[in-house]
């Protein structure tokens, strides 16, 4: 990474321009269709509400296409897949303006919605790399919406031309976004799945707040436009013109308020500000003050989303940001659609002002729910071994969403039918889902042999790694050479000095050893590996139990994290700081004697699943 530091200023400027262009492209094209719906109805020869329905269906299709969009982003650079999709989506909107026939118009809008799916995630994920950029991305999206309102107003007599201009401009902006900003995706490494992102506590807690931030924008937007038409008899392009003027100060408010988005605690207050907008609009004595409600509602919703992005998405590792941005983007879109639909339903029951006032209640609830989002200041320092939402879906014993934290030099004992399965998953010997990191390294990217050869992880069990026909000393020597020991023979002699029972069997084939001797040989191999994580399966309480504790204490003293699977016997618990029973139905803590692990690091409970 340091090799690119001299070029960083140029890349940063290009990256900022690309991120803002990408963020503006989607709202520009989609907003123009939405704001021109009544005029387009006359051109396409369908009611304007049908055109609105088509535009919103395109948004729903974009949300539904998120999963394949994430899959594509894992094989291309995410910003380039989004740029490609945005360019094709903009072309689809332009085609809808060129050919007003219903089949072509509807198909082009639906295709544009599907192709625009990456725009729900990539612009916000890219903006997270720099402090303050989430607010900048939201301001760019709001600027795109403002441009859409002005295009719909200026070409209100020629809505097809408005779509052509908006679609072509959005396509150009998407192409600009394909510039060299953002790191390349690792070849063959897909981005994190949505299910993995849902395992993060703050992401789950923030989803209702994102949804109601979308509501705070959607309900006043369409409710206010409807109120301008039916309270003050503004027709044609006039309601959208008021919105176009209101969006300009809204962009300025988002830019000016970007410092307020640096902490999660500002989210509830911003949502409350958004909740005040519908009440202001419902009681406005004139269209100008109502337009001020547009400014407040949209600026508050964008600032809320930026604050949530900073608090929830920015602390995530790069591999998870794209999926998290997509998931929360879908939540915000769903909230906007729900707010729009609720406002329409209430208008059929109540007076215009009363209906708009009632739409303020959900954002008030959202302000309370946003209090559950704590942000990065509440996050604990990363554990030495961190297991997140680990599941073993196949086999005689299946595990579901186990979470585990082990510090360097700490010893943890696991018992129960799922203990050996969990150790096999940590060692890479059984297929599993979820995340496993060790000292910041992602173990899921490595197979079992790589984890051992790199000295990251070693599973010591009843069966050693040495082939049964090879003499004990020769097998240990081969293992030492594979690990890169400078003097393999000296390393083997040192290990055999630790295990006198094996020293006299140095020339015996490994296959002729007893079960207890094979266990000692497996532990001797672990000493040669000197792993950062030692997994011990079935040895601590077996026939070689007396030889095990000194070795485990020796390794733990050097900072090795030790996880033991076996019966919760007193001699085993005496080694541990914590102990758990692992079963398919859950994880239960086992009391550890007060003397056990008195000098181990303090236990820290994990979140997002059964805590180990």
Q: For 371-405, what is each residue's pLDDT tens digit? A: 888 765 444 567 888 888 888 888 888 888 888 88
Q: What is the pLDDT of residue 184?
A: 40
**Of the candidates 409, 416, 380, 527, the residue with the CA atom closest to the CA atom of residue 464:** 527
- Measure the CA–CA gap between 604 and 601, rounded to whole angstroms: 9
Q: What is the pLDDT of residue 133?
A: 78
- Measure the CA–CA gap between 263 and 457, rounded to whole angstroms: 38
CA atoms within 13 A on the CB side of 177: 34
Chain-centre distance for alpha carbon 128: 12
Domain residue ranges in the chain = 12-180, 213-320+348-379, 385-589
Q: For 90-103, what is each residue's pLDDT tens digit? A: 999 999 999 988 99
| Cβ atoms of residues 458 and 522 within 8 Å | no
Q: What is the pLDDT of residue 10?
A: 40
| 541-548 mean pLDDT | 63
> Which of residues 543 and 38 earns the better pLDDT score?
38
Q: At what angle do helices 488-498 and 515-529 cross, to 10 degrees?
A: 130
| 63-87 mean pLDDT | 78
pLDDT above 60: residue 610:
no
| Cβ atoms of residues 13 and 176 within 8 Å | no
Q: What is the pLDDT of residue 19?
A: 75
- Measure the CA–CA gap between 374 and 324, rounded to whole angstroms: 16
Identify the CATH homologous superfamily for domain 12-180.
MFS general substrate transporter like domains (1.20.1250.20)
Place of tokens 């699943």: 609
What is the layout of strands, in order, in the sheet containing 578-583? 457-460, 533-537, 561-565, 411-415, 578-583, 586-589
pLDDT above 50: residue 278:
yes
Q: What is the pLDDT of residue 129?
A: 65
Q: What is the pLDDT of residue 140?
A: 92
Tokens of 39: 């005029």
Q: According to DSSP H, which parts of 232-311 are helical?
A: 238-256, 266-282, 287-308
Tell me yes or no: is domain 385-589 CATH 3.40.50.300. Answer: yes
pLDDT above 80: residue 557:
yes
pLDDT above 50: residue 110:
yes
Chain-centre distance for alpha carbon 474: 48
pLDDT above 60: residue 603:
no
Q: In 3-state terms, what secondary structure has residue 434?
A: strand
Q: For 120-167, what is each residue's pLDDT tens digit? A: 888 888 877 665 578 988 999 999 999 999 999 999 999 999 999 999
| 324-350 mean pLDDT | 90
Least-confidence region, from 136-145, 195-204, 420-429: 195-204
Q: What is the pLDDT of residue 125?
A: 84
C-alpha triplet 503, 427, 507: angle, nearest 5°: 20
């Amino acid at each position: 990474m340091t090799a690119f530091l001299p070029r960083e200023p140029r890349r940063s400027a290009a990256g900022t321009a690309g991120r803002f262009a990408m963020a503006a492209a989607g709202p520009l094209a989609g907003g123009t269709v939405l704001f021109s719906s009544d005029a387009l109805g006359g051109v396409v020869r369908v009611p304007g509400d049908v055109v609105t329905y088509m535009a919103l269906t395109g948004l729903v299709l974009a949300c539904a296409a998120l999963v394949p969009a994430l899959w594509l982003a894992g094989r291309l650079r995410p910003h380039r897949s989004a740029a490609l999709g945005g360019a094709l989506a903009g072309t689809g909107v332009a085609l809808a303006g060129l050919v007003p026939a219903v089949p072509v118009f509807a198909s082009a809008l639906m295709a544009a919605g599907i192709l625009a799916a990456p725009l729900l995630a990539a612009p916000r994920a890219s903006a997270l790399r720099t402090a303050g950029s989430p607010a900048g991305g939201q301001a760019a999206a709001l600027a795109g919406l403002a441009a859409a309102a002005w295009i719909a107003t200026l070409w209100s007599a020629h809505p097809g031309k408005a779509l052509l201009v908006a679609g072509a401009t959005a396509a150009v902006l998407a192409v600009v976004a394909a510039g060299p900003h953002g790191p390349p995706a690792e070849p063959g490494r897909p981005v994190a799945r949505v299910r993995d992102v849902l395992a993060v506590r703050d992401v789950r807690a923030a989803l209702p707040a994102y949804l109601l931030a979308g509501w705070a924008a959607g309900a006043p937007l369409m409710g206010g436009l409807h109120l301008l038409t039916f309270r003050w008899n503004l027709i044609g392009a006039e309601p959208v013109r008021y919105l176009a003027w209101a969006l300009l100060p809204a962009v300025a408010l988002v830019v000016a308020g970007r410092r307020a988005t640096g902490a999660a605690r500002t989210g509830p207050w911003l949502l409350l500000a958004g909740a005040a907008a519908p009440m202001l609009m419902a009681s406005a004595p004139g269209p100008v003050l109502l337009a001020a409600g547009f400014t407040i509602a949209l600026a508050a919703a964008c600032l809320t989303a930026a604050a949530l992005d900073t608090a929830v998405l920015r602390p995530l590792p790069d591999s998870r940001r794209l999926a998290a941005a997509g998931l929360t983007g879908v939540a915000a879109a769903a909230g906007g659609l729900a707010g729009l639909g609720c406002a329409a339903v209430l208008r059929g029951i109540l007076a215009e002002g009363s209906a708009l006032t009632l739409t303020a209640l959900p954002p008030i609830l959202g302000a309370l729910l946003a209090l559950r989002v704590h942000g990065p200041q509440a996050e604990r320092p990363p554990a030495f071994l961190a297991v997140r939402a680990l599941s073993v879906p196949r086999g005689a014993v299946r595990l579901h969403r186990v979470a585990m934290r082990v510090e360097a030099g700490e010893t943890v004992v696991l018992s129960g039918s799922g203990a050996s399965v969990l150790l096999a998953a940590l060692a890479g010997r059984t297929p599993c889902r979820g995340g496993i990191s060790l000292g910041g390294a992602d173990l899921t990217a490595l197979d079992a042999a790589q984890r051992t050869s790199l000295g990251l992880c070693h599973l010591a069990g009843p069966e050693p790694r040495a082939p049964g026909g090879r003499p004990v000393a020769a097998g240990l020597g081969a293992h030492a050479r594979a690990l890169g020991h400078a003097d393999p023979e000296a390393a083997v002699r040192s290990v055999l000095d630790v295990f006198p029972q094996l020293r006299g069997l140095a020339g015996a084939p490994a296959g002729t050893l007893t079960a207890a001797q094979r266990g000692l040989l497996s532990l001797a191999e672990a000493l040669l590996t000197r792993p950062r994580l030692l997994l011990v399966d079935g040895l601590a309480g077996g026939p070689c139990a007396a030889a095990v504790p000194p070795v485990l204490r020796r390794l733990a003293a050097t900072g090795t994290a030790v996880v033991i699977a076996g019966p919760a016997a007193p001699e085993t618990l005496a080694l541990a700081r914590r102990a758990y029973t692992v079963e398919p139905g859950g994880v239960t803590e086992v009391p550890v004697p007060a003397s056990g692990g008195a000098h181990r690091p303090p236990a820290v409970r994990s979140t997002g699943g059964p805590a180990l």
